[in-house]
Amino acid sequence: MRARMAGPGLALLAALVLSACGASDSGTPAAAPSSTPHEITPALDVGLCGSADANQVGALSGFGAVTLISGDPLLCRWETPDGSSVAFRWFRNSPIGEYRSEAGASAGRAGIDIVGRAGFSWQAAHACEAAVQTGDTDFISWTVDSVAVTGANACAAADRLASATLAKR
Q: Is the pTM of this model over 0.95?
A: no
> 121 with 163: CB under 8 angstroms?
no
- pLDDT tens, 132-157? 999 888 999 999 999 988 888 999 99
C-alpha of 166 from chain center: 14
* Domains of the chain as residue ranges with CATH: 48-167 (3.40.1000)
- Please choose, from the candidates 158, 169, 65, 78, the residue with its C-alpha nearest in 3D space to the C-alpha of residue 119: 158
Per-residue model confidence as pLDDT tens digits over 36-84: 565 666 677 889 999 999 999 999 999 999 999 999 989 999 999 999 9
Instruction: Please check whether residue 108 is in contact with residue 155, taking contact to mean a CB–CB distance below 8 angstroms.
Output: no
| Cβ–Cβ < 8 Å for 76, 88 | yes
Locate all alpha helices (DSSP H) within 21-149, ordered by sequence: 54-61, 96-103
